[in-house]
Structure 1
C-alpha cells in the first residue's frame, strides 16, 4: 500500500496514479477529503484501488489516527510519499510570525509526524520506502522565500537523518529536489511565459516526476539513491 500525503491535482495525484498502476493500493490525503474524489475515481476507473482521507498533516492526533486506521483496515504501508508544498513567497519585511510558522508546520513538521509514524511500522517489518518532496528552496534560499526555504532546508535535513538511521534497518529514505516549474494550473494562470515552455519540454511533467518516484522505490538495496534532482534540460542550476 502506498500513502501519499498531499495528493494534489498535479504531482501528488500523478504519484498516486503511478503506484496504483504498479499494483499498490493508493491511500491519498488532503485537508479536504471531497477534493480527492476525482483522483480516487480516476484510479478506480483505470483498474486500480484507492482510498481518500481528509487529514491535516500538521496535527499529531490526526496523523497517528490516519496511520493506525490504514494499517488496521487496509494493509501495511509499504511506501510513504510526503508531498506537501507550502510555497508562499513574501518579503522578509512583511512576513508574519504566524505565516512563517505555518509554512514550517506544513513543509517540515508534517514530514516529521508522518515519517515517524510510518517508520515505526516499517522498522518492525524490516522494509519500506519513504520519499520526501523537496524543491529548489531545499538547496538555496531565494529572495522573498525565507519561510519556504527554511522549511524545505529543514525537511531535507530530516530526510538525511532518517536515511542514516533507518537505512541499516531496511528502510529506503529518499529526498527528491524538484528544481523547476511544474505543469500545473497555478503555473499556467500565474506564469504564462514560463508555461509556454511546455511545448519545448521546458517545465516538469507530473507524470514523469511520478515515474522517478516509482523507480526510487524499485531500486535494489545495494544501490539506493538518497537524493535525486529533477529539472528540465533548459533549467539553470
Structure 2
C-alpha cells in the first residue's frame, strides 16, 4: 500500500479528505498534527508508517498571517519563532521521518511549497519571509544530498493568490481563473514533478497567473 501525506491547515483537513475520498474512490486518512512540535510530528508518522510506504510528501504548512501587517518593532519573539518553526522546522521534522524509508526503497518525492516571500522579503511580513527563505534553503540542501539516492526534492514557489478552480464561475460571469491561480492547474504541476524522469528533475519552479506581472 502506498501512503501519500499532504499537510493542510487543520481546519480544512476533514473536508479535503472527504472530497478526495469521494472523487478518487479511495481510502483517505486525515491526521491532525502540530508541525512545530517534534513529538506531534513523530507520533503522527508512527501512525502513517503503519499504513505503508510514504512515497510522496508535500509540505505546505505556514503560520496564518494577518492582512494588516504589523511593524517590525511590534512583532513579539514568540510569534516570530512560531512562524519560522512551522514553515521550516516542521518541514525538517517531516523530511527526517520519510527520508530513511525512501532511501531504503530508492525512490520518493518531497515537495516543499514556497511563496512570493521565498525570493523577496516582504515589508510587514518579516515572520513569513524568514520562514519561507529558510524553507527554500532546506529544499536545496536536501536535493543536493539525496537526489543520488533516488529521492526527488523540489521547491514550488506559488507566486500569487490561489482562487477557486477554473470550473467555478464568479457571480459576474467572469472566470475566477482570470484573476487568480487555479488550484487544479497547480496540482497538475505537482503531479508532473512527481512523475518526472530522473534524467531531468526539477529542483525549483515558480508558478503565477499569466496576467500577473513579475
Is TM > 0.5 for Structure 1 vs Structure 2?
A: yes
How far is 1:37 from its partner?
2.5
How far is 1:151 from its partner?
0.6
**Residue 157 and residue 39 in structure 1: after superposition, are their counterparts in 2 closer, same or farther (change >3 A)?**
same
Instruction: Write the mapping of 1:138-177 to structure 2, written as runs, cut at 5 A.
Output: 138-177=118-157
Equivalent residue number for residue 67 of structure 1: 45
Equivalent residue number for residue 191 of structure 1: none
Equivalent residue number for residue 84 of structure 1: 61
Give per-residue Cα distances to partners, 1:110-144, cap 9 Å, x unaligned. 11110111112211211100000000000000210
Matched, 1:2 2:4: yes
- Name the TM-score, length of structure 1 as normaliser: 0.79
Structure 2 unaligned spans of 5+: 165-172
Contact 1:90 1:144 in 2 (8 A): yes
Give per-residue Cα distances to partners, 1:156-180, cap 9 Å, x unaligned. 0000000000101110000000001
Equivalent of 1:226 in 197, 203, 206: 203
Give per-residue Cα distances to partners, 1:65-107, cap 9 Å, x unaligned. 22222112x1100000001132524321211111111100111
Equivalent of 1:179 in 159, 162, 165: 159
How far is 1:208 from its partner?
1.2
Matched, 1:48 2:50: no
Give the 3-state SS of the residue equivalent to 1:228 in structure 2: strand
Q: How many residues align?
A: 200
Give the 3-state SS of the residue equivalent to 1:51 in structure 2: coil
Measure, in 1, the Cα distance between the counterparts of 2:146 and 2:70.
36
Contact 1:202 1:233 in 2 (8 A): no
- Name the TM-score, length of structure 2 as normaliser: 0.87
Higher percent of residues as helix: 1
Measure, in 1, the Cα distance between the counterparts of 2:212 and 2:70.
23
**Residue 144 and residue 67 in structure 1: after superposition, are their counterparts in 2 closer, same or farther (change >3 A)?**
same
